[in-house]
Amino acid sequence: MSHQNAYQHPDQQLVSRVLGGDRHAFGIIIKNTEGLVAQLIFKMIPVPADRKDLAQDVYLKAYKNLPGFKFQSKLSTWIGQITYNTCLHYLEKKKVVLIDERDDEEGGQQQSLERLQQKDVGRYDNEVECLLSAKELSVILNTEMDKLSPVYKTLLSLYHQEEMSYAEIGQITNLPEGTVKNYLFRARKALKQNLLTNYKREDL
Amino acid sequence: MSSYHPSDNELQQYAMDGTFAGDELAAHTQGCAACSAKLANYRLLTRQMSVMPKPAFDFDLAGLVLQQLPAPKAEFPWIAVLGVTLTMIFLAAISLLFGSYLVQLLQDLPALFATILAASAIAVFAGMLNTMIKEHHDQMKKLDFN
């Protein structure tokens, strides 16, 4: 039996311990996954005061449903899925728009920006870097990411910060891989447009 | 100069994974300043996003959650059940084998002795019941339902 346990995946060992009544093991699961849960909640929930309750709600749901977890994905992915669904439910109740089509629009200012790039290309080599280095890169990027739709900024965080694959992101968000990839393209483009639009004029 | 310009998606993909691009795209971005600028922007964005500080909760999430977990269910008392079952089997066997002798023995006892025996049995039973109720109350007090 102990020989069998030695070859069990850490997720399986932890889940078995929790199901056997070991609360400490559930504490370990929380510690192992709260980074991902924080990432999702911070990106999807705009009201800081609501984040604490939602985070607790996520883990209480996970504990309740743990006997039904079939290891078809990583435990962290499953908990990410619960988090994403909990946040979606919250946003739907608050009637928050999940994907704002304005994020995908190219405004008149952007078009002129593109035209400018074609005309005066020498000046725009790595222009975002020039802008951002003068404005504390990560602060500005964070501010502009926050302006994106909840789904877009969540996908960007999962892919670029958590380094998840399209498949894993698809499992968490219940979106097809192709859609995840497409939304990521749109999100990066919208982020770039916002940065150029909001920081270009005063800095260049 | 060629009128070909890679799409935004192609440039993004190239920015994230240089090996993905075809020769045409790679050659174009070297010669086209506009596409080269876009590529540089996307490279910077993706690089910067990967090193941004990750958000973290400023409270003890595990502590808060563990406090709220329901009390674990008591395990089924297999040993007690086994003990009771064996005792009942033993008593049933005794009564089957020696039942008639026991009845005769009880009938032959003086009335006073039988009364004392019955009273003692009731007293022992009442004492045990009282202890069980006290233990139950103590255990209920220890449980924190808040």
Domain A2-93: which CATH class? mainly alpha
**ipTM of the predicted structure?**
0.77
Query: Poorest-confidence range of A41-45, A163-167, B78-82?
Result: B78-82
pLDDT digits (tens, 9 = 90+) for A97-156: 777 666 666 544 443 334 333 444 344 445 555 555 545 777 888 888 999 999 999 999
User: Are the Cβ atoms of A188 and B12 closer than 8 angstroms?
Assistant: yes
Map residue A136 onto helix, strand or coil: coil
The model's pTM: 0.69
Element (H, E) at A92: helix A75-93
Mean pLDDT within A90-101: 79
Through-space distance between the first and last CA atoms of chain A, rounded to whole angstroms:
68
pLDDT reading at A173 higher than 90: yes
For chain A, the domains span: 2-93, 101-203
User: Which among B34, B52, B56 has the least Cβ separation from residue A118?
Assistant: B34
DSSP tag of A122: G
Strand runs (DSSP E) across chain A, as ranges? none
User: Are the Cβ atoms of A124 and B48 closer than 8 angstroms?
Assistant: no
User: Are the Cβ atoms of B62 and A122 closer than 8 angstroms?
Assistant: no
> Which residue of A128, A153, A158 is the best one to mutate when testing the B interface, meaning the one whose CB has the most B CBs within 10 A?
A128
Q: Which chain B residues are Cβ-neighbours of A126 within 8 angstroms?
A: 37, 40-41, 44
Angle B115-B116-B121 (CA atoms, 0-180°, nearest 5)? Answer: 100
pLDDT reading at A45 higher than 90: yes
Please return the burial class of A131, using the count of CB atoms within 10 Å of its CB with bins 0-12, 13-18 and 19+: buried
pLDDT digits (tens, 9 = 90+) for B91-122: 999 888 888 888 888 777 788 887 888 899 99
CA distance A44 to A55: 12
In sequence order, what DSSP letters do the residues of B48-100 get, joined into one string? Answer: HHHHSPPP--SS-HHHHHHHHSPPPPPPP-HHHHHHHHHHHHHHHHHHHHHHH
Cβ–Cβ contact B48 with A under 8 A: yes
Report the residue count for chain B.
146
Q: How many CB atoms lie within 10 A of CB A130?
A: 17
Q: Are A142 and A39 in contact (CB under 8 A)?
A: no
User: Which among B9, B54, B59 has the least Cβ separation from residue A39?
Assistant: B54
Query: Poorest-confidence range of A23-27, A61-65, A105-109, A130-134?
Result: A105-109
User: Are the Cβ atoms of A188 and B42 closer than 8 angstroms?
Assistant: yes
Q: How far is B54 from chain A (nearest CA, A)?
A: 7
Helices and strands in chain A: count of H runs, count of E runs = 11, 0
The pair of three-digit structure tokens given for residue B72, joined into one six-digit string: 């674990």
User: Are the Cβ atoms of A117 and B57 closer than 8 angstroms?
Assistant: no
Inter-CA distances, A57 with A79, A90, A131, A133, B91, Å: 11, 11, 41, 40, 53
What is the predicted pLDDT for the residue at B24?
79
User: Are the Cβ atoms of B38 and A117 closer than 8 angstroms?
Assistant: yes
CA distance B27 to B30: 5
Mean pLDDT taken over chain A: 82
Cβ–Cβ contact B105 with A under 8 A: no
Is the CATH number 1.10.10.10 carried by domain A101-203?
Answer: yes
Give residue A3's pLDDT band: very low, low, confident or very high (50, 70, 90).
very low
CA distance A32 to A131: 37
User: Are the Cβ atoms of A52 and B59 closer than 8 angstroms?
Assistant: yes
Q: Are A180 and A166 in contact (CB under 8 A)?
A: yes
For chain B, the domains span: 8-51, 72-142
The dihedral of CA A76, A81, A82, A83: what is its sign? positive
Q: Which chain B residues are Cβ-neighbours of A42 within 8 angstroms?
A: 55
Q: Which chain A residues are Cβ-neighbours of B49 within 8 angstroms?
A: 141, 145, 156, 160-161
